[in-house]
Amino acid sequence: MNAILAMKKTKQQLHESGFKLTPQREATLLVLLENEKEHLSAEEIFFLVKKKSPEIGLATVYRTLEILTDLKIVDKVSFNDGLARYDLRKEGAKHFHHHLLCLNCGAIEEVEEDLLGEVEQVVEKRYHFLVKDHRLTFHGICHDCQENEKKK
């Protein structure tokens, strides 16, 4: 997504929720936009933000990430490495996107398709449960690792 457009939309979302797009929040969001394909931890985000805005503190980055998570601008995810990671939610996405996690090399690939629409309907009907969101991570072996294994 265009960074300027994303910034405008985020500013509007923050404003509608009673927040301002402060320089610290803008710097944090810019790092997320610049590293859109990465799944950065709060500490990794902090170090990248600190390069742009040396005055910013880790607590400010954490607070910003919590606000952005609460507003569903970013999603907080875990890939079983003990770290919370942050991922920009795609514009207009009804749900969080899915991931493929390689058990050999740790590579993470995003799956953009919403694969669980019918499953949600079954869950809602059978269990009388109103689904608000869902997450799905496939654990397996990526194509590159499979190819490398064949070469051995």
Provide the annotated binding site for Fe cation.
134
Binding-site members are 102, 105, 134, 142, 145
State the Cα torsion 135-137-138-139 to the nearest 10°: -150
Binding-site members for Zn(2+) are 102, 105, 142, 145
Helix 23-34, helix 42-52: angle, nearest 10? 110
For residue 111, give both structure tokens: 């799956």
Residue 13 main-chain phi, psi, to 5 deg? -60, -45
- Unique residue bearing structure tokens 């910034």: 7
Using DSSP's 3-state secondary structure scheme, residue 43 falls into helix
Using DSSP's 3-state secondary structure scheme, residue 93 falls into coil
- Say how far apart CA 142 and CA 100 lie, in whole Å: 8
Handedness of CA 29, 30, 31, 37 (dihedral sign): positive
